[in-house]
Amino acid sequence: MKRFSKQTRSAFINYGIIIIFFIVFQTLSATGSLGSSLKGQLIPICAYIIMALSLNLVVGISGELSLGHAGFMSVGAFTGVVVANSLSGTVTNGTLRLILALIIGAFVAAIAGIVIGIPVLRLRGDYLAIVTLAFGEIIKNVLNCLYVGLDDKGLHFSLKDEPSLHLNPGGRTILSGPMGALGITKLSTFFIGIVLILLVLFYIQNFVNSRPGRAIAAIRDNRIAAEACGIPVTKYKLMAFVTSAAMAGSAGALYALNYSTVVPKKFDFNTSILILVFVVLGGIGNLRGSIIAAALLTVLPELLRQFQDYRMLVYAIVLILVMLITNNEKAMVFIRSRIKKLYKLTRKEGV
């Protein structure tokens, strides 16, 4: 193990966690010992892990606060649905269709990332945050009015209503405005979700420890010094932002193709915030933290189901308390000393 650097080791631990996660839950669900509600959460967990990882690329590694990440997820989701739906005749293999949907979903989200990133990345700090929020809302709003239909002539688009699609007889509506996508064929599988996570992890981890990744970290730490070192700041900021958007797009497609219906409202400001919460609670810039936080916090509301009405209240309180405790020097010193003690105790017993 000595010949591996610390980063490489950490990267392999991350892959290991994901693979173990897959094996454990795959066995559990195969043996039928997994509750149906948790089983239904597996693919959303994968999608949220990808979302958290991709947002961490922007917030943690590039250091820009984005409050509209769900917008890219939604672009990917609806693109994915349209692709999967329109290819249902030509590509009969479900997995292949899913992969195409994921790729095209990521691609279209990346384009949205470029369109948004070019103006937005000129702004800084809180202004950048508010503009990403605004873009997230615009995407939601536009998708809320978007009608897409398919007939023998190809795809039809409208921002008004269903009849103005002017579909030929035999055509079908894929997206119908605020109703979203109806009658989606469920294509997403847990396995593909895991593969996608591994790909995203592979990408980010290798990216960070390469020339462009260093440049992005440099811009985060000190923009002026980075410029003085001759690093094209806008190019690299955009690179991180667009990559992140593409990943979010694929996560969206994965997510949407897991349900029979998806509405645009699903990907609103609250979803963007939810993902940001994963990133912050997992530790900014910490990929493993993002994975664990995303998985736990997606399951947590399910686990709190017995509290019914109180569960979101509990969630809110937990959130506030965690922020207060992790940002309190004294509390953290206390917790660390306890953990050390516990560790020592277990070591002693082990000996």
Partner 1 sequence: MLSYLINGISLGSVYAIIALGYTMVYGIAKMLNFAHGDVIMIGGYMAFCSTSYLGWPVIPSVLFAMTVCTMLGILIERLAYKPLRDASSLAVLITAIGVSYFLQNMALLIWSSNPKAFPNMVNLPNVVIGDIQISSVAIVTIIACIVIMIILTLFTTRTKLGKAMRAVSEDKGAAQLMGINVNATISMTFAIGSGLAAIAGVLLCTAYPTLMPTTGAMPGIKAFTAAVFGGIGSIPGAMLGGILLGIIEIFGKAYISTQLSDAIVFAVLIIVLIVKPTGLLGKKMAEKV
Partner 2 sequence: MSNKDIKLVQLPSPNFVPERDKDKPLMLEVSHLGIDFGGLTAVNEFNIGISPTEIAGLIGPNGAGKTTVFNLLTKVYEPTRGTILLDGKDTHGMNTIQVNQAGIARTFQNIRLFDKLTVEDNVKIGLHNSIKYHMPTGVFRLPKYWKEEKKAHDKAMELLSIFDMQDMAGYIAGSLPYGAQRRLEIVRALATGPKLLLLDEPAAGMNPSETSELMENIEKIRDEFKIAILLIEHDMNLVMGVCESIAVLNFGEIIAKGTPNDIQNNPKVIEAYLGSGSINGGEKEGTLPDSSDASKPDAEQMSTGHLASPDAMIGGRKEES
Nearer to partner 2, 94 or 212 (CB): 212
Nearer to partner 2, 161 or 221 (CB): 221
Residues in 157-196 at the binding interface with partner 2, rule: CB under 8 A:
none
Q: What angle do CA 180, 181, 186 make, to 5 degrees?
A: 145
| 28 neighbors 274 (Cβ within 8 angstroms) | no
Encoding tokens for residue 244?
Answer: 């992140």
Nearer to partner 2, 214 or 311 (CB): 214
- The rounded distance, in Å, linking the Cα atoms of 328 and 254 is 38
71 binds, among partner 2, partner 1, none (CB under 5 to 8 A by kind): none
Q: Is 215 in the site for partner 2 (CB under 8 A)?
A: yes
| 49 neighbors 196 (Cβ within 8 angstroms) | no
| 256 neighbors 81 (Cβ within 8 angstroms) | yes
Torsion angle of the four alpha carbons 87, 91, 95, 96, in this order, in degrees rounded to the nearest 10: -100
Residues in 94-113 at the binding interface with partner 2, rule: CB under 8 A:
none
| 244 neighbors 251 (Cβ within 8 angstroms) | no
| 68 neighbors 272 (Cβ within 8 angstroms) | yes
Q: Is 138 in the site for partner 2 (CB under 8 A)?
A: no
59 binds, among partner 1, partner 2, none (CB under 5 to 8 A by kind): partner 1
Least distance (Å) from partner 2 to the CB of residue 209?
8
AA letter at 196: L
Judged on CB neighbours under 10 Å (0-12, 13-18, 19+), 231 is: middle
| Residue ranges binding partner 1 (CB under 8 A) | 59, 65, 119-120, 122-124, 126-127, 129-131, 133-135, 137-138, 141-142, 144-145, 159, 177, 224, 269, 273, 276-277, 280-281, 284, 309-310, 312-313, 315-317, 319-320, 323-324, 326-328
Q: Is 221 in the site for partner 2 (CB under 8 A)?
A: yes
Least distance (Å) from partner 1 to the CB of residue 143?
10
Q: Is 218 in the site for partner 2 (CB under 8 A)?
A: yes
Residues that bind partner 2 (CB under 8 A): 202-203, 206-207, 209-215, 217-218, 220-222, 224-233, 239
